[in-house]
Structure 1
Amino acid sequence: MDLTERDFESYVKTMMRSMAESLAQVTDTIARDDVTAFLAAILDARRIFVLGMGRSGLVACVFAMRLTHLGIPTYVVGETIVPQVTTGSMAGDLLILFSSTGRDGVATRFAVKAAHTGGAAICVVTGNRDSPAGQIAHYIIEIPCDPFLRPDAREERTCFSPLGTFFETAAWVFADAVISGLMAAKGVSVETMGTTHANLLGLFLIPDD
């Protein structure tokens, strides 16, 4: 499809509006009780571990960053500073897995091992509640994106959400909304979060007087 500069601008804005509308629709499908249980699990957890593959992993990383700003001890699975898992060592911890399909082999196997060996509770943020990951979870946030991907037009659907984009976008928005909920629950202000924001690189880049 050949697009002029004006057509391209219009197309991009149309896609942005379509995604915003679909996000609003999928938001209404997320069960209130699931969200309440998820928030409570985070607040009760000793430590949080987040996990995801590919772009879902990036969502997990930004969620971990904000949890850290809230003063919640959080680790991204796969990083070098993640504590060793031994029998019972994750009791009281929460592992949060982001996975559109819930079938990520490595991620799901790690979740199973953490649950059975370390004793962590498992939360899965997924597009498929009945997936292998969903079946081993203690908490599930289902973001069922497929019904909102415009099945009436194959080409438009592909452009609208290539390779799982809509789940990742919805999961990111959900994660940021959860942070807002946690701020309210913990009574943490934006100013307080700012005091825990990383600044080491910024200090390094400030020129000497």
Structure 2
Amino acid sequence: MRKIIDEVSKEITQVLQRVDERQAVQLSEQIRSSKRIFISGEGRSGLMGKAIAMRLMHGGFEVYVTGETITPSISEGDLLIAISGSGSTGSIVQFSKKAKEAGAKVFLVTTNPDAELTKITDGVLIIPAATKKRRAEEPKTIQPLGNQFDQSVHLLLDAVIIHALDDSYEKMTERHANME
């Protein structure tokens, strides 16, 4: 077991070290300057997106997750953070196109710099991790399916949010759920 834990940790560290810091800073600045933030992802990427939405809410940002019953319409001044390892997930492409039509900005978090979706987005954060597709340029991994991408998304977007925060620990704690 120790060998597996150490290898997973090593893999994630290697992925995060290869991230283009300028792309991460650009996303952080988009978060800061947006009126509202919408997060979209499918499967485990969607679960990582919900975790990121929660942290953004703790940070005082107005944030929504696509597909939820309370999610309002997106509009000009808003930001959609689209999470898709392949950059071609059907629903994510559709949400991104709708967001652009509404005048919102779209920022794609993906492994694929050549994804068609990159042509319509306002920014791209490339996470050089393995996905379930196992394209030739993806790193080797002992992990199944898209684990390496999803774990990297969570850690990297947490770092992006930390960079975007203005609030203190105390203010964030005040926003934390209190009906637990």
**How far does residue 135 in structure 1 lie from its aligned partner after superposition?**
2.2
Match of 1:141 in 2: 125
1:148–1:132 CA distance, 2 compared to 1 (3 A):
closer
Alignment of 1:54-93 (within 5 A): 54-85=43-74, 90-93=75-78
Match of 1:162 in 2: 144
Contact conserved, 2:25 with 2:160, CA < 8 A, in 1? Answer: no
Q: Secondary structure at the match of 2:114?
A: coil
- Residue correspondences, number: 174
Q: TM-score w.r.t. structure 2 length? A: 0.91
Contact conserved, 1:52 with 1:60, CA < 8 A, in 2? Answer: yes
RMSD: 1.4
Q: Does 1:27 align with 2:16?
A: yes
Higher helix share goes to which structure? 1
**Structure 1 residues not aligned, in runs of 5+:** 1-11, 151-156, 203-209
**Structure 2 residues not aligned, in runs of 5+:** 131-136
Match of 1:94 in 2: 79
Match of 2:133 in 1: none
Contact conserved, 1:22 with 1:148, CA < 8 A, in 2? Answer: no
**How far does residue 197 in structure 1 lie from its aligned partner after superposition?**
0.8
Alignment of 1:1-209 (within 5 A): 12-85=1-74, 90-116=75-101, 118-146=102-130, 149-150=139-140, 157=141, 160-183=142-165, 186=166, 188-199=167-178, 201-202=179-180
Match of 1:206 in 2: none
Q: TM-score w.r.t. structure 1 length? A: 0.79
Contact conserved, 2:29 with 2:164, CA < 8 A, in 1? Answer: no
Bigger shift: residues 29-38 or 60-69: 29-38
The code of the aligned residue for 1:197 comes to H
**How far does residue 27 in structure 1 lie from its aligned partner after superposition?**
1.5
